[in-house]
Structure 1
Amino acid sequence: MAAAPDGNKVLRSGLWYTVASISIRAAAIITTPIYTSMLTTADYGTANTFNSWIDLINIITCLCVVYSIGRAKLDFKDRFDEYMSALQGLSSSFAFIVLIFAVIFRERLSEAMHYEVPLIIVLFSYLCISPSVEYMLQKCRYEYRYRENILISVITCAGTIFFSITLMLLFKDRRYVGKILGTLLPTFLMGIVFYIRLLRKGRKFYDKEYWKYALRIGLPMIPHAFSLMLLAQVDRLMVKDICGSSASGLYVFGYSFATLLSIFTNAIGQAYLPWFNDSLSVGNREQIRRIQKKLVLLGCFLTIGFITVAPEALMIMSPRAKDYWVAKYVVVPVALGTLAQYFYTNYVNVELFYKKTPIIAISSSAAAVINYILNSIFIPRFGYIAAAFTTLASYVLLMFLHYAAVRLYLKERVYDSAFMFLAMGLSTLAGLSVMMLYKEGLGTRLFRYAYAFVLLGIFAFMNRNDIMLLTRYIKKKYLHRG
């Protein structure tokens, strides 16, 4: 058996994924004022709702077969190009069938979705081609071609900005159409290129073995994807319905900042997952356990850091609107929920490795139902802050459910679960204690930063060897080039 790739490759990809993710998110934040200045609030909402429809319908049309790519890289190691080509053929064929029905029922869909018929056709046509971009991104990730992966993301981001602004200027009377088309066009054009590229390289459109393999893994992930979407959105809808638009605005403001933490956790996950699959396939559990402990501590470090700076960060984001500053109390539980999500993804990776996706779907669906019940009970009693804590509770529940599935059903002990749950518990206590220091006043603020500095200092001391190794690596690789 081949050995798992060396850690330097994982470290390099992790660093670059993080830099790229931050840059792309920064570009989105910087361009938001441009979009809001060119669009009315109604047009802005119309354009963003269209994107939500894409995300929702894409879960069905792509059949969630993208989740099969990581494991397929191992099972079809010498035929991976064939698999990717056939995978694309499967999802595009189904999406095309859906497109035909959309054309037939275009008037009804237009009335139901509140968009013109041409935009309905554009939406479903886009879903036939756009998944090829994600397939290429995933292929590059699992082949450790992180530079190409990042380049695709950067080109898509830059193209979206350019085409959105250009087309909004052309569609003066209906600028929301320009914004919609500007968002879709770069991905659609790149999708055509990658569709042809994957097909030429793999030379497979239909293969019974590949299609059955992809569907066996992908179909159970459809309820999983819907459940995660509900977990991310239902609290916002319920806060608006129960507490009103003002409370909803505060909740979304704090929630949006807290989830910036996912930029870092997702980047770490992108670099880690291919290495994890390769390492587990050769039985390298001890190294996985050792590396995963360090990543757990890194996640805790980042979370406490986010929680510490939250009040000042929200002040910077809304310097003239002090009413928004109270949203800092939303940040703590949502950030901790993001940490729990980061943790439970480790167990999801194991479930995907063993191709037990129905377990993933059951756990996610259960958490979504529990989240709805908790919101129904606590939001009317305690207001929008309760929604943040129910989000945390739901993600911790998901963490436990995935742990139980891996430990009890799959009988896999690849992780030190006691260490992970202890880290989650201590991070929760630390985060809540920092939140107690969110009160106004210079003295309280200084004490909060001193307290956080001590916590983070302990983390740095515990991992001083790894920090020194990382520092030396960055200096050698990027600061001392000849």
Structure 2
Amino acid sequence: MTKHGKRHIWNIHPSAGAKSAVAYTFASLFSKGLAFVTVPIFTRIMSTSEMGTVNLYNSWQAILTVIATLSLTYGGYMVALKEYEHERDRYESSVLTLTTFSSLVFFAVYSVAPDFWSRILGLDKSLILLMLVGFLLLPATEFWLARQRYEYKYKAATLVTIGSAILASALSVLAVLYMRESGRTAEGRLFANYAVLYVVALVLWIYIMVRGRKFIVMRYWKFSLALSVPLIANQFATQILNNSGRVMIGWFVDNSAVGIYGTLSSVSTVSAIVWSAINSSFIPFLYRNIDDSEGKKRVRSLSSFLLLSYAAMCVLITFLAPEVVKIIATDEYMAAIYIMPPISAAIFQNAISNMYSNVLLYHKKSSYIMIASICGAVLNIVLNAILIPLFGYQAAAYSMLIAFVFLSYVQMRISRKLHFTITKTRETVYDDKIIIAIQWLMIVLSAIAIPLYRFTVARYVAAFVLMVASLFFYMRIRKSI
């Protein structure tokens, strides 16, 4: 419903949504997949310690971006695009001004004690400055891409995403090759990669500001902050769940262990690239179908189908992990291959959490997302603090799995109860029983992969059976949908 009480009529042809979903999925897979494809080059040129520095940088950037940008680039932005349908240009430039101010405050805080922050983060000052520039510029790219996706305008966004990914990857490889004798390949790789992304972001920053020409509009700021402030804690907690393992491995072990853990976990997180694209395209579909019974039926069918397909992908990657690691890394990484099943299973739990947090965000109940995420993050930190010193860096994978299972159940329960209360019905958005069944089937199958890593033939047979079963269920579910 709009603020005038009239239901908005969407006149976008269904094929436009389908084309947009395919284009964005392909662009996301290509750009992030390209970064994954270059891993074999980096693991053979860079030491595990240098790889650890890169992983540590990326982890801290993911965690701190949430605070530095006030979480304005996350889910609340999509809600605002619907709320301010005829004022999007002005809204966009205004919130970009807000993220600019917040990033400058972040820079000022760092400037007071740069040595202190360098010790805490375990990073060189030059890398922290690189990160701070990103806090200033990268929100422009996020805002622009989110709006393009929401409006089903995919051609320019696809071109920008793929083009910048190719150039950034190429320059990163060249920088590492050029600086391999200097012992600073981590810095060279990071500066080369982000230089490309920052140039694109700067152009988009200027474009958004010139197009909107509104910089401080308090009603836009109040609306956005009302949604984003609770999400700061939520997204910060989410990033803690995703990245605290690497950070705490750096504290309790060393950067070399961070490099091994981070590189192998990147194999499992390939599937997260797919899910990110799927979820981004699923959100508009959910929001347009959640208000009526027939729409909810479509949502239940599609959500179960997406999760089952994604579960099959995660399990398949887990079964084929030894072959993937042999391709992307050297022998020193193979000893840690057993962390991949729990990491893959944890990533799938995050997909379930995303499904239910989408519903909470639609009802503007982001504070509940925050509470659940904080509880999960605290659990993860506590488990890491206990288990890593006792069992080594591999324990971080199991800590993450336990925390994400806990989070998925909390999100599910809260979302269900609030939806019933708000809609005054007992009609669920998703088929919870099917989702729980998929959840535990995925965990069990991932665990089965662990003993099979020593038996190649048996593992190949199991992977083949999984592929056939997935295809069978895909056809059945597709037909029912």
- Please give the TM-score of this superposition, normalised by the length of structure 1: 0.83
Please, which of 433, 444, 463 is the counterpart of residue 477 of structure 2?
Answer: 463
Please, which of 428, 437, 443 is the counterpart of residue 428 of structure 1?
Answer: 443
Structure 1: how far apart are the matches of 2:125 and 2:230? Answer: 32
Structure 2: how far apart are the matches of 1:381 and 1:298? Answer: 36
Shift of 1:59: 1.9
1:146 equivalenced with 2:154 (yes/no): yes
Identify if the C-alpha distance between structure 1 residues 298 and 466 changes in structure 2 by more than 3 Å, giving closer, same or farther.
farther
Shift of 1:212: 0.5
Q: Residue deviations 1:232-288, cap 9 Å, x none? A: 233345556667888766644542211111122112112212222233367732322
> Which stretches in structure 2 are left out of the alignment for 5+ residues?
1-6
Residues 163-174 of structure 1 aligned to structure 2 (within 5 Å): 163-164=171-172
1:91 equivalenced with 2:99 (yes/no): yes
Identify if the C-alpha distance between structure 1 residues 93 and 378 changes in structure 2 by more than 3 Å, giving closer, same or farther.
closer
Q: Which residue of 2 aligns with 1:471?
A: none
Please, which of 363, 372, 380 is the counterpart of residue 363 of structure 1?
Answer: 372
Letter in 1 for 2:350: Q
1:354 equivalenced with 2:363 (yes/no): yes
Shift of 1:357: 1.6
Q: Which residue of 2 aligns with 1:80?
A: 88
1:291 equivalenced with 2:302 (yes/no): yes
Q: CA RMSD in A?
A: 3.5
Residues 384-395 of structure 1 aligned to structure 2 (within 5 Å): 385-395=394-404
1:440 equivalenced with 2:455 (yes/no): yes
Q: Residue deviations 1:138-169, cap 9 Å, x none? A: 11111112232222222321332355466678
Residues 28-47 of structure 1 aligned to structure 2 (within 5 Å): 28-32=35-39, 46=53
Contact kept in structure 2, 1:137 and 1:152, CA below 8 Å: no
Residues 147-186 of structure 1 aligned to structure 2 (within 5 Å): 147-164=155-172, 178-186=188-196
Please, which of 316, 326, 344 is the counterpart of residue 335 of structure 1?
Answer: 344
Structure 2: how far apart are the matches of 1:123 and 1:250? Answer: 23
Q: Which residue of 1 aligns with 2:409?
A: 400
Letter in 1 for 2:25: T
Q: Which residue of 1 aligns with 2:210?
A: 200
Letter in 2 for 1:91: T
Shift of 1:63: 0.7
Identify if the C-alpha distance between structure 1 residues 103 and 258 changes in structure 2 by more than 3 Å, giving closer, same or farther.
closer
1:258 equivalenced with 2:268 (yes/no): yes
Letter in 2 for 1:294: F
Contact kept in structure 1, 2:342 and 2:398, CA below 8 Å: yes
Q: Which residue of 1 aligns with 2:144?
A: 136
Shift of 1:182: 2.1
Letter in 2 for 1:137: L
Structure 1: how far apart are the matches of 2:393 and 2:129? Answer: 38
Secondary structure at the residue paired with 1:219?
Answer: helix
Larger deviation: 193-202 or 65-74? 193-202
Letter in 2 for 1:124: L
Secondary structure at the residue paired with 2:101?
Answer: helix
Q: Which residue of 2 aligns with 1:59?
A: 66
Identify if the C-alpha distance between structure 1 residues 213 and 47 changes in structure 2 by more than 3 Å, giving closer, same or farther.
same
Shift of 1:400: 0.9
Larger deviation: 241-250 or 95-104? 241-250
Structure 1: how far apart are the matches of 2:162 and 2:237? Answer: 29
Shift of 1:207: 0.7
Residues 207-356 of structure 1 aligned to structure 2 (within 5 Å): 207-238=217-248, 251-280=261-290, 284-318=295-329, 321=331, 324-356=333-365
Q: Which residue of 2 aligns with 1:449?
A: 463
Please, which of 25, 29, 32 is the counterpart of residue 25 of structure 1?
Answer: 32
Shift of 1:340: 1.3
Shift of 1:14: 3.2
Letter in 2 for 1:290: S
Identify if the C-alpha distance between structure 1 residues 208 and 449 changes in structure 2 by more than 3 Å, giving closer, same or farther.
closer
Identify if the C-alpha distance between structure 1 residues 155 and 380 changes in structure 2 by more than 3 Å, giving closer, same or farther.
same
Shift of 1:406: 1.0
Contact kept in structure 2, 1:288 and 1:414, CA below 8 Å: yes
Identify if the C-alpha distance between structure 1 residues 316 and 117 changes in structure 2 by more than 3 Å, giving closer, same or farther.
closer
Identify if the C-alpha distance between structure 1 residues 94 and 303 changes in structure 2 by more than 3 Å, giving closer, same or farther.
closer
Q: Which residue of 2 aligns with 1:415?
A: 430
> Which stretches in structure 1 are left out of the alignment for 5+ residues?
468-482
Structure 1: how far apart are the matches of 2:379 and 2:274? Answer: 27
Secondary structure at the residue paired with 1:204?
Answer: coil
Identify if the C-alpha distance between structure 1 residues 286 and 435 changes in structure 2 by more than 3 Å, giving closer, same or farther.
same
Secondary structure at the residue paired with 2:70?
Answer: coil
Structure 2: how far apart are the matches of 1:78 and 1:395? Answer: 39
Structure 1: how far apart are the matches of 2:436 and 2:225? Answer: 33
Structure 1: how far apart are the matches of 2:434 and 2:115? Answer: 56
Structure 2: how far apart are the matches of 1:43 and 1:257? Answer: 18
Structure 2: how far apart are the matches of 1:244 and 1:47? Answer: 13
Contact kept in structure 1, 2:346 and 2:404, CA below 8 Å: yes
- Please give the TM-score of this superposition, normalised by the length of structure 2: 0.83
Contact kept in structure 2, 1:102 and 1:124, CA below 8 Å: no
Larger deviation: 135-144 or 149-158? 149-158
Shift of 1:410: 3.8
Structure 1: how far apart are the matches of 2:346 and 2:468? Answer: 23
Structure 1: how far apart are the matches of 2:197 and 2:128? Answer: 17
Contact kept in structure 2, 1:348 and 1:360, CA below 8 Å: yes
Identify if the C-alpha distance between structure 1 residues 457 and 32 changes in structure 2 by more than 3 Å, giving closer, same or farther.
closer
Q: Which residue of 2 aligns with 1:12?
A: 19
Percent pairwise identity: 25
Larger deviation: 133-142 or 98-107? 98-107
Contact kept in structure 2, 1:106 and 1:121, CA below 8 Å: no
Structure 2: how far apart are the matches of 1:418 and 1:122? Answer: 46
Contact kept in structure 2, 1:253 and 1:327, CA below 8 Å: no
Identify if the C-alpha distance between structure 1 residues 252 and 185 changes in structure 2 by more than 3 Å, giving closer, same or farther.
closer
Structure 2: how far apart are the matches of 1:236 and 1:135? Answer: 28
Letter in 1 for 2:397: A
